[in-house]
Structure 1
Amino acid sequence: MLEKYLLEVELEYSCECGGKSSGQTLTFASLPKTFIIHLKRFCYTPSFNLQKIYDPVQIQRDLVVSSKMGGGCFSLVSAISHSGSIEEGHYICDSIDPEDCPLEPTDHWLTFNDLTVLKTSGWDVCKKRQELAYILFYRRHI
């Protein structure tokens, strides 16, 4: 989705020279230490009712993002998911184990679900949260 968002878009344009089209490319001016992606999981129907969107999103463990100042590599470090409906729901957080060494990652993750904390892996998070992920947090490699 990020790649598609940053693709060049053709615009209708009328120029004195006779040109009829132009292009627009979006880019980041610079890159942050933490890249946060908010997935819009709610939308309005044509009859103005709010509904939840369950479309699966392929969650990438690593992202390469470019900017005007150069590129950067980011790794997924946490995901917040929403299960339930518009009327009621529940948030779950998956995150890398804080005791996992960033220089030698072991893919130890934790799932925080109210008072329950369970061990998991980043691979499981990317696979199991495709329809529920709401906010993704990526840390830049320095």
Structure 2
Amino acid sequence: MSKIYSGLSILGCAFGSSLMLCLPALADQCSYIKKEQAIATISRLDINQTIYKLCEPCGEKDPQSVKIQHLSMEKVDYQDYWQVGVNGEGIDLAYVFVDSGVEDNLVNLAAIANCPAQSVSPVLSKELIPSGNQEGDTPN
């Protein structure tokens, strides 16, 4: 009987370890991207534009609006990857949405940049944005 429990605990540890290894992979899905993807993203963003951050795999439900005051595209110290920066902070395209210009929807930046992202919506309705978190309401 103790061999069964031992086997189950080993299996549980293996499953738990693999789960822990998978979660960080989802945390930074489209943070480091190809130069072409960074260019596609930067070309879609503007100073004073509002973006909406939402980490769906993290369990977040309410997008947080952020007004772009500074926009950058920088090469990172890992292989030949780049990162888009908003207000001095690198962003993960998988968790950022922008106004699509169509029917009050927000489109995911990863979809715009053709970066494959898991467990995120390609499009969100602006109706998900809490009334106190509308464009212009976000502190710097």
TM surpasses 0.5: no
The TM-score normalised by the length of structure 1 is 0.24
Structure with a larger share of its residues in helix: 2
